[in-house]
Chain A
Amino acid sequence: MIPAAFDYIAPQTLDEAVRALASHGEDAKLLAGGHSLLPLIKLRLANPKLLIDLARISTLNGISEQDGKIVIGALTTHYQIESAELLKKKCPLLPETAGEIGDVQVRNRGTIGGSLTHADPAADWPAAILALGGELKLRGPKGERTLGAEEFFLGPMTTAIEPNEILTEIRVPISSRRSGSAYHKMAQQASGFAIVGVAVSVSLDAKGSCEEIGIGVTGLSDKAFRAHAVEDRLRGRKLNAKLIEESAALAADGIEPLEDLHANAQFRAHLARVYAARAIKEAVKRAGGSRR
């Protein structure tokens, strides 16, 4: 666990960081909480020549409400999100998901932006951000652009972010009054990552039918994804247990499940269906809809 030599800078502003990244290109790596990057460097699986530490850029850290949306700086830690009163009221899926990540030490250091850009196919955040229909704001030498969560995740450890771009913030809609959410996960015992995790955000109309639903699935395939087939069967309909179970049975359709030491493809697909049903039921219940 001894890294190779590298240089280190800690810019004070986002502009400085963007310039440093642009001038060093692929040789540079951005350092946020360091919980994914540092182990890779220590194992020499990543050998950046320069680390650009974002910790001193205060504008990247914080949780606020802007124009009807929740805005979270990329450097906000999991613990900040887990404990934010604003989020518990206005977007409870985020604190619930944060509480499922790793352990206390990890949550104290790890950041939402670091996790999203690392794009581990078993990470927790992608499921929640996909379910919420979140947006990711990127900043590069040519300015800013915003991507939807579904455009962002491309594959294992691969996102749509360009080598010269920095993820600056994550925006998610504020949950409406008749909405509910839930995150259900089977954690891998050793790493705490999801064998399968399903995040659900649902809103009901005045009659109690499903107005909108987002279902993010992580751990099942080589990237987190939105379970459209399940969502489509539920949207606009009264959500009873039978319909939820029938729909959740589609959660792994068309997906090639991952296989590893901890779970084979068949088990992962099964878990995705089970946890999808459970998460949907719980989200509906929390939205004030009937369970059965």
Chain B
Amino acid sequence: MPVSKLVGARIKRREDPALIRGLGQYVDDVRLPEMLHVAVLRSPHAHAKIKSIDAAAARQHPGVVAVVTGEELRDQIATLPTTADNPTLRIPKHHVLAVDKVCYVGEGVAAVVAEDRYAARDALDLIQMEYEPLPVVTDPEKALAAGSPVIHSEWPDNMAFRWEHKQGDVDKAFKQAHRIVKQRLVHQRLAPIAIETRGVVARYLAPEQQLTVWSATQIPHLLKTHLSQMLKLPENLVRVIAPDVGGGFGSKLNVYAEEALLGYLALKLNRPVKWSEERRENMQATIHGRGQVGDVEAAVKKDGTILGLRYKVVADIGAYHQLFTPAIPPFTGLMLSGCYKIPTISIEVIAAFTNKMSTDAYRGAGRPEATYVIERLMDRIAQELKIDPVKLRKTNFPAAKEFPFKTATGLAYDSGNYQLALNRALKLAGYEKLRREQKRMRSRGRYLGIGLSTYVEICAMGPGFWEYGKVEVDADGKVKVCSGASPHGQGQKTSFAQIVADQLSVPLKDIEVVHGDTAAVAKGIGTFGSRATAVGGIAVYQAAEKVREKARELASHLLEVDADDLVFSDGRFGVKGVPRKALTIQQIAQQAQTAKNLPEGMEPGLSADSTFEPANFTFPFGTHICVVEVEPQTGNVEVRKYVAVDDCGKVINPLLVDGQVQGGIVQGVGQALYEGVVYDENGQLVTGSLMDYALPRAADLPRLQLARTETPSPVNPLGLKGIGEAGTIGSTPAVVSAVVDALAPFGVTHIDMPLTPQKIWTLCQGKKAASGGHR
């Protein structure tokens, strides 16, 4: 391997100069001649029969070109896809526009196509809908109870699927336990809230019979496959373009009704069509995340050693499955044992249909839930056994030498050193000093809380999902890198260029990274599950390696020396001992264009591609420490200090890693303190706008103190693990733990998220602080 110059360097994002000057090109910036505009009429009812739809007046409205309903589309467009390998899975028909009945507020019932957005929106008001409201169930536990309103008549129990896992003699562990510690935990629904809402433009070129769909998506290639199936078009005639995409967090890892609808309308009307999602639609009809309620119990020995774990959880699916909906709750199950040695485990997941928008992957996708369960449980055990939470964790960690570490859930953690990250974080935070400060402050009636979370997560998806990369050196020495990953804020136009620059000794400025267009990149999967660098980056790395080896072969031919006698350094293939006899990769690329320069059997050109699928997942880990001050009188929480030590294996660009960790932590703090999608009992979305759905803001947090340990993964040649979601996974329990710790003198042992001032005040009300002084 050549000496690294750029891998590991804090290179500023090459994406940013355009984006921060407003020069990004998003779906809504796509403007095509003759383009029509689409508006979707959405159900105001959470559950109702559609008795009639009268669109006559809407069709007459000036500027309106067409109005379509579910009845018209049901035979034209296949139902929305979902994927999961689970024999208990029940898949309700999920039409692009509702047929016969609606099952959640925001479900599309009709679409207007008009010459401009105004006419389209005006015409929505002219569609006469007649509904017969049906009883509604929004609580997943109630949905599973006898007598609940039934959402899909085929399945009167509202059960969407089950998933179970059992390992070891759990009952025996509980019989032998010194103590059993139990906790009920609620993971509220969250809205992913990408800054750019969704949007779709579709154009059909009749002469070529080609459909092009621009979509704010994380998975252009997967979307292409699904759209061709839904619209019954040959896949080679469908092209999907993900232009600049303004964040996804999993919400654009999907196939949405509007993507197929717009494709259909472009075909039918033979004119380009555009739909841009409004924020209110985004709250109603873009997937939500989390939404689990569970009861966990641990069997523990006197010293805190965990003997067994039982978890029974109800997952709130919403009315239908979206693309990965059924895959998320089992992920929680798989990661439930966290970074601890837990010999016996029993997990039971029951998923329930409710009259709400679907849940699906939101940053972390199942792992934040698992981490929250196990970390809150560790704190509860520490409370009950009166053991320091740090000591309890160390008691149950596997040692560094025990990796690869097999969990009771059937995974093999690739590599790790949990003690190291924990010790590093404790030192950075000044843990012992903080505990002393906490004591002093309590005696003065002020409540400092120190929360800890030691997490491990599963990423770099992974076995089952490969990724594709291609590297091509042009005659002028410029390099084009194509990736099937589809970054939408992660910065791989920078980090992939760093990888290739080192492999080929080419300056960064000469490397262009192309992604997000199925016509420009032969194949791909996309960006999700913290996989783009640890899987997609490896494909690019391997392609670059192949290019370098081809260049070596050609250099050997041109220099008339044995390939083994060539050394590649400083961008040149030189002959050992004859430093002046050398060719640069640019010179080789030029020679490679002409067949007569080539050795027998070598094809012209200097390019190579690679498809990489790892044999195992990677398991990043770390320790987050959050320090808060809580004011019991008002319930206000101030985050005073935040320390994160993350281990994502080898790092390509520390600046990008810091950015991912920062953003992740902020979203995790959001779940802990502020966020929550709330539906009322009638299924109306109470948090329907950003006036009520509370996001964290920059001013809510202190400067984050970030550090890293580096334990390479053996799963891929660069030792990468992935960092896109770790911040979100590690932070939420640390924040909750800190607030609960602050309120320990009030006898508080747990609070359900979000930890709003009202909840905190209500818990402390009328209680005097137990130890120390008084306010």
Contact = CB atoms under 8 A, between A and B. Distances in A.
Contacts of A1: 278-280
Contacts of B674: 189-190
A2 B693 contact: no
Given A274-B633, A274-B634, A190 B758 contact: no
Contacts, number: 50
Contact of B692 (A5, A43, A191): A191
Contacts of A188: 694
A263 B121 contact: no
A261 B692 contact: yes
Interface stretch (A146-154, A198-206, A264-272): A264-272
Contacts of B691: 190-191
B761 A267 contact: yes
Given A190-B693, A261-B687, A4 B758 contact: no
Contacts of A2: 39, 117-118, 120-121
Question: Which 6 residue pairs spanning A and B have beta carbons closest together?
Answer: A189-B694, A190-B694, A2-B121, A191-B691, A267-B758, A189-B674
Nearest to B687: A261
Contacts of B39: 2
Interface in A249-282: 261-264, 267, 270-271, 274
Interface string B219-236: 000000000000000000
A34 to B, nearest CB: 16
Given A186-B636, A190-B690, A267 B678 contact: no
A270 B633 CA distance: 9
Given A2-B117, A186-B757, A188-B694, A261 B762 contact: no
A191 B758 CA distance: 17
A104 to B, nearest CB: 11
A191 B693 CA distance: 8
Given A262-B756, A263-B758, A271-B634, A190 B121 contact: no
22 contacts: A1-B278, A1-B280, A2-B39, A5-B118, A5-B122, A186-B757, A189-B673, A189-B694, A190-B690, A190-B691, A190-B692, A190-B694, A191-B692, A261-B678, A262-B692, A262-B756, A263-B758, A264-B758, A267-B635, A267-B757, A271-B634, A274-B633
A190 B634 contact: no
A43 B281 CA distance: 12
B273 interface: no
Interface of B: 39, 117-118, 120-122, 125, 278-280, 633-636, 673-674, 678, 686-687, 690-695, 756-758, 761-762
Nearest to A263: B758
A201 to B, nearest CB: 23
B758 to A, nearest CB: 5
Contacts of B758: 262-264, 267
Contacts of A43: 280
Nearest to A190: B694
Interface string A28-64: 0000000000000001100000000000000000000
Interface in A182-228: 186, 188-191, 195
Contacts of A262: 692, 756, 758
Contacts of A189: 673-674, 694-695
Nearest to A189: B694
Given A261-B686, A267-B762, 9 more contacts: A1-B279, A2-B120, A5-B118, A189-B695, A190-B674, A191-B691, A267-B635, A267-B761, A271-B634
Nearest to A43: B280
A261 B756 CA distance: 11
A186 B692 contact: no
A121 to B, nearest CB: 14
A117 B756 CA distance: 31
Interface string A1-25: 1101100000000000000000000
A99 B528 CA distance: 40
A2 B758 CA distance: 36
